[in-house]
Structure 1
């Protein structure tokens, strides 16, 4: 691990003033510190923002504003989140372990690196994300966990966050502050696909800090929502695939539909094609299957993960069928 300077910020303005061009903000550190220890990440300074006040508060119009320093465990346990945004609470509880949820922050969860085992292997594996132009050993290697949508020949890693899949389904908005002032970015636009520059994972600018996440006012589809994660073991494992779904019905037809997928791409994947295909349709398993197959028409599986297509289909149908039954 390369020597670095540690700075404890007294408030947000102090943190922004002291981070510099090569510094990094330190929240819970559950991803960043690991990468620094393994010399995968480098930083000249760490600006500790973990002790800044964090709050969860209702805002005008009925939405919710969550400070970036709020811990994942606290967010999952919050009464408003559990009652009005059940998909978010369930996604948070599906992530990592209880110990990590007690340390990890909302902002840090959003910023955790899109990664795979080859990304971590700084001494023995080729990785374009870690070293642009080096190549990608996952393409012809162990790729069971890798992307089937939105990938490129430069990178096929998947975004690991459970929370972000739920936030994508909810149309959450990321609040940012930096040298140029404050701005807001929809969560679905915050992460980017790898293309020719897999080392760039977000639209975050140098010196910018995530200050909060805004959730929209609850709707019927948000209230009737579910998160289902499929993984190789029941705890402390990334998703093979996951589905965040929300559904409302009227007169035997789908009136609101929200679907986001995890474990399939370098960012949370909003299933817009499937949503469009289901609006106004009867909520049958056949309709759900046809819609998700339309979403997956461009899927490009690798040698070890073709099973993900069928797994996404079955899990999405199961989630939406359960939600339709609850809304009947």
Structure 2
């Protein structure tokens, strides 16, 4: 990604969502040439010159101080995730442009995943690749894919690709648009932390070309971690509707790797459906069962 354009695009979208009255400025009426705050207005409120802010928005102020960035964030009314993202874009850490080695999972983490039993659990890598999942998580998220796909780096399922390019995943989420927005917002944070990563650049480029919905969301610069504050509704082809909570936990000593666990309200119909799905996936998958899954999917 081009750092300058990313910083400029992010700041322009945040200026555009504010009106003068939102920041205590008088509105003299009339139609503005561009929506939102003008650069000059933002600069005045942040206590910097208009020229300095213009250079910042153009990515020409790599040494901007914390005080200046925090002042800009305050005027733009950024939340904590957006503030951190602004710092990452304005002062990116030096990173290698070399293609990194495939991500690995520590043996202890694999044992942890297996210990969840009937509770769906999986580990996501830096690029939202599924590094490992237990059978319950496989049946919940992607039963139409081979169970051993995460063990083969070139075939690992990628959550971003699944959300935007996979028909099964689109139908799995009752509110697919909300899931899509959350996915892009989380990917934006990752891209801000690793601006020169070639794998991320390829992933974003692929999704932009193949999905107009992704391209539109990406251009809006949504930014927030993919940690749902509420339950999400699923429409599973084998066990029907479920309302599940999805907790994401950062793994220590594993750069960017996260553990995802799916749970349901105890005693609810969703809990019963989730247990039924776990029971169906308890035994080793056979070609017959995979064909049954595909057949049921086509009947929906």
Shorter-normalised TM range: under 0.3
More strand by share: 1
Larger radius of gyration: 2
More helix by share: 2
TM-score (norm 1): 0.24
TM-score (norm 2): 0.26
